[in-house]
Amino acid sequence: MKFEPTTIPDVVLIHPDVFGDERGFFMETYRAQKFGAAGLPLIFVQDNHSGSQRGALRGLHYQVKQAQGKVVRAVVGEIYDVAVDIRRWSPTFGRWVGYTLSAQNKAQLWVPPGFAHGFYVLSDWAEVIYKATDYYAPQYERSLLWNDPALGIPWPIPPGQAPTLSSKDAQGLPLAQAEVYDEEIR
């Protein structure tokens, strides 16, 4: 496994070693020893799996309590995956990174606690699996506005098209009004 820091050092792009032959491929997507050596969490408490059609935008989600760190990967199709730093005390507060994750490139993204996370589906269908460091707690879930001009995320949405959003995501708050992390997350 290769762990590649991004322009926000706490967010890490993970490239598993992939071994292939005429039968297909094999790869490890998680190994505690390697994650620990890279400074990433060793314990995950929940695995999630979603399926979405082309043009769906999920996010930007976070939990104000029970903040979740996530290792995200696309196992079918292709997504544009985004992490936004919403830790007010962080030098990268309000900055974001985005990467294409796909079944083909097999890359994974570590999104630490304290970040809003979302993705846009580029393929006809995509399935996303992610490991979480804390449990889903709907009472603490919030949505950051996906198209907040203050963030300036250039989502790869074709001109003249609108993403498919849940009503919750359509009502996300801009960063200036959102509940964010004012203290370090433990």
Instruction: Report the C-alpha gap between 90 and 22 in whole angstroms.
Output: 47
Please state, in angstroms and as integers, the Cα–Cα distance from residue 153 to each residue in 132, 149, 150, 156, following that order.
24, 8, 9, 9
Q: Kindly report the average pLDDT of the chain as a whole number.
A: 96
Residue 183 binned pLDDT confidence (cut-offs 50, 70, 90): confident
42-46, 90-94, 145-149, 153-157: least confident range: 42-46
The active-site residue, picked from 61, 62, 80, 120, is: 61
Q: How far is CA 17 from CA 37, 42, 47, 49, 137, in A?
A: 16, 19, 21, 22, 33
Spatial separation of the C-alpha atoms in residues 35 and 3, rounded to whole Å? 9
Q: Tell the burial category of 163 from Cβ atoms under 10 Å away from its Cβ (0-12, 13-18, 19+).
A: middle
Residues 116 and 105: their CA atoms lie apart, in Å, by 23
To which H or E segment does residue 170 belong?
Answer: helix 167-170
Model confidence pLDDT, tens digit, residues 124-135? 999 999 999 999
pLDDT the model gives residue 135: 97
pLDDT of 184: 82
pLDDT at site 17: 93
CATH number of 2-20+27-170: 2.60.120.10
Q: What is the pLDDT of residues 35-78, one digit of tens each?
A: 999 999 889 999 999 999 999 999 999 999 999 999 999 999 99
User: Rounded to an integer, what is the distance from CA 131 to the centroid of its chain?
Assistant: 10
Residues 168 and 49: their CA atoms lie apart, in Å, by 19
Above pLDDT 70, what percent of the chain?
99
Planar angle of CA 185, 3, 89, nearest 5 degrees: 25
* Virtual torsion, Cα 160, 164, 168, 172, nearest 10 deg: -30
| Alpha carbons 132 and 152: distance in angstroms, whole number | 27
Altogether, the residues listed in the chain come to a count of 186
pTM over 0.85: yes
Residue 130 appears among annotated catalytic residues: yes
Which of 80, 99, 130, 181 is an active site residue?
A: 130
pLDDT of residue 147: 98
Q: What's the pLDDT at 42?
A: 85
80-102: average pLDDT? 98
Give yes or no for residue 185 having a pLDDT over 90: no
Q: What are 156-182's pLDDT values in tens digits? A: 999 999 999 999 999 999 999 999 999
- What's the confidence (pLDDT) of residue 41? 84
Query: What pLDDT score was predicted for residue 88?
Result: 96
